[in-house]
A = this chain, B = another copy of it.
């Protein structure tokens, strides 16, 4: 069965988003992106177990929200942590894509309780409603989020936020669509880099207000999002010519 136009677009954005996040240094060999099936809100698309930098449209599986592989690939495994993606997409109908990776500038804020992540510049104010934290209560099965129970706990921890820090592990972000997720996540990491450099000086930043954040989020998403998406896509295509035939939006 041939993909509908909406599904094809979702899959192309999944590839572009994965490549961009790798190209911009937000994800390395580990980490993964997912996008909800636009034709069926109860399944989502995600690549087989392969690094985002090298995934192609032929690597995409269709997965149910409980993690069951609906359309798999012969001889290939899904990501163990697809469970977490499904649990979040299940708990948050307003989100259509989820990303998880271990960007280094975010980690200190996940393990130092006295140093919460916060907006220190307009980039961070995209997350004006705050950040969520998840501290795995049972590590006997490892710190990865691979059981239904753990997936649901992360989704609960996320609540109505757009980013959740997993203690000593990494980051989960969610958004309405992939350009938004890419944009928000890249800017979040930059905000973390800046905050980390401020924390090293021991100085106190005057924070952006929630009001400012809300205003900025609204404005930026109307004006700069398309420009930045085009920029990220163009940069990725420059060094990854195999994605040249994929269309941005």
Contacts and interface: CB of A to CB of B under 8 A. Distances in A.
Interface of A: 28-30, 49-51, 53-54, 80, 102, 104-105, 107-108, 110-115, 119-123, 125, 139-144, 167-170, 190, 193-194, 196-209, 211-212, 215-216, 218-220, 223-224, 227-228, 230-232, 234-235
Contact of A143 (B143, B168, B201, B212): B212
B111 A231 contact: no
Contacts of A227: 29-30, 49-51
Given A28-B231, A50-B230, A200-B200, A120 B107 contact: yes
Nearest to A120: B111
A196 B35 CA distance: 35
21 contacts: A29-B224, A29-B227, A30-B224, A50-B227, A54-B234, A104-B193, A105-B197, A108-B194, A108-B203, A108-B205, A112-B198, A112-B206, A119-B168, A122-B143, A139-B212, A140-B211, A141-B215, A142-B219, A143-B212, A199-B200, A200-B201
Given A108-B205, A112-B205, A228-B30, A123 B102 contact: yes
Nearest to A114: B203
A120 to B, nearest CB: 6
